Structure 1
Amino acid sequence: MPLGSLRPSPLVEQATQHLREQITQGEWPVGTRLPGENALAKALGVGRSTVREALRALAGAGLVQARQGSGVFVIATDIAEDWPARLRRAAITDVYEVRMMVETQAARMAAQRRTEEDVAALEEALAARARAASQDDAAFVDADIALHAAVVAAAGNPVLTDLFAEFAPALREGLIGLVEVLGLRAHDRNPGHDTHAELVAAVRDGDGDAAGAILQAELEQTLAHLHDS
């Protein structure tokens, strides 16, 4: 399959797509050394810098690997599954176990690092969770996750914040199902309010050990429900 010249824009995206198709369609099997940058640039009608960026993108997708002094080689013909996709197909119990490890430490950090703005955000999230008690299960779960996200945000680590955001969609789906199947709000429309209020208070008071312990106990209880459901 000839490469063919590319349209002017967006060149990097187009170059990446063309090279990806060559690999995934078997034109360059695993173990093949790709043509050099000059040859690829000429075939695609682009500059070497565009080819270089395209190869970086393919390396990030797990399709090629640069070997010092040897060139760029095909190492896979299937695109590596990205993190959100892996989370979507993962068992909710597996996701929850990782969440528990991440979020418990985040709560301890939040108690050490929280600002006045963080405390205000936590108190508002707690109030929003209480208000959501009068709404349906999905709205209540959303408010619950928002409170936990506020705890993570108070840790002041943007990587932790982003990581929790990646977990959130899988958590939401699993928790809505859990609430519905077990009827967790049948007798108490705002389950766990006292525990969450204690969590917010511990973060506000700078008690990292208490914050971590409260969150650990709450998440372990939910995980037990998930294993039993």
Structure 2
Amino acid sequence: MQPLFKVNLADTAVTAIKAEILACRWPVGERLPNEAHLSAMLGVSRGTVREAVRVLVSQGFLETRQGSGTYVLTTTDATLPLDRARQASLRDRLEARCALDVEAARLAALRQTPAMIARLRALLDQRGNSDADADKAGFIARDIAFHKAVIAASGNRAMVEIYDFFSASIMQTIEATTGGGLPEPDMAAHIAIVDAIATGDPQIADTAVRAFMAPVLDHLDRMLQP
């Protein structure tokens, strides 16, 4: 039980230090008090403080500079907006993901290269058709890999991270509340997206993705009706 007790103490220390950071007790760029000071302030050992600081460094709140100390990087909790987004309706989250799909395809069209298009077509070949695949989990994984590759083709790293969040959140909600899924657009609809990106015209790519997503949104609306 002793290791569990230490973990709980570290969690408490993380929460306490984070609360002080979010309250701007130490502004961005300021060095934190040393371990002895934090240990006395929190009523925990210096080892526990050290562990809590490591956690907050990994979360992006703090930065440790060799031979200098630990400094505040941000006083904003980046997880709060995502927590609020998770509480939004399923329709709202799916619309947000669609917006990412559309903009990613537009950017991909502007930045498309022969190698990019070849990769997207190869991923579609690997994906196959849902009705011809008995391994449902494997098919879903290959389908997600294709869509993430389209997002990555945008060249926008932030969009990739946000897309991952919305995709996971939406799938979890659908599985928990309906026991089923949304309709899967056919291979032709997927190919149309790649063909549109290959034209290099962002408006054509925009139209292709909107046509792809429209039946999914319509089905969701019917599914959510009382």
TM-score range, shorter chain: 0.5 to 0.7
User: What letter corresponds to residue 38 of structure 2 in structure 1?
Assistant: A
Change (3 A) 1:89 1:42: closer
Q: Could you report, residue by residue, the CA deviation over 1:183-221 in whole angstroms, capped at 9, with x for unpaired residues?
A: x4xxxxx74221211111111221211111110122232
Pairing 1:153-172 to 2, within 5 Å after superposition: 153-172=152-171
Matches within 5 A, 1:37-76: 37=33, 40-41=37-38, 43=40, 46=46
- Long gaps (5+) in structure 2: 1-6, 27-31, 62-76
- Which whole-Å CA distance do the structure 1 matches of 2:200 and 2:179 have between them? 31
What is the distance in 2 between the residues matched to 1:147 and 1:213?
Answer: 19
Change (3 A) 1:17 1:40: farther
Q: For 1:149 and 1:181, how far apart are their aligned partners in 2?
A: 19
- Tell me the alpha carbon deviations over residues 107-138 of structure 1, each in whole angstroms, 9 at most, x when there is no partner: 00001112333212210122123244412444
For residue 46 of structure 1, report the CA deviation from its aligned partner: 4.5
Q: Does 1:228 align with 2:222?
A: yes
Q: Supply the distance in 2 between the matched residues of 1:22 and 1:123 (Cα, whole angstroms).
A: 50
For residue 125 of structure 1, what is the aligned residue in structure 2? Answer: 123
Percent identity for Structure 1 against Structure 2? 27
- Within-5 A mapping of 1:176-215: 180=180, 184=183, 191-215=185-209
Pairing partner for 1:107 from 99, 105, 108 = 105
* Number of the residue aligned with 1:219: 213
Output the aligned Cα RMSD. Answer: 4.6
When residues 191 and 81 of structure 1 are mapped into structure 2, their CA distance, relative to the original with a 3 A threshold, is closer
Indicate conservation of the 8 Å contact 2:185/2:212, yes or no: no
Provide the C-alpha distance between the structure 2 equivalents of 1:212 and 1:141, rounded to a whole number of angstroms: 24
Structure 2 partner of 1:67: none
| Conserved 8 A contact 1:111-1:207 | yes
The TM-score normalised by the length of structure 1 is 0.61
Q: 1:178 to 1:193 in 2, by over 3 A?
A: farther
- Please give the TM-score of this superposition, normalised by the length of structure 2: 0.61
Tell me the equivalent position of 2:71. none
Max radius of gyration: which structure?
1
Q: Distance in 2 between matches of 1:103 and 1:151?
A: 8
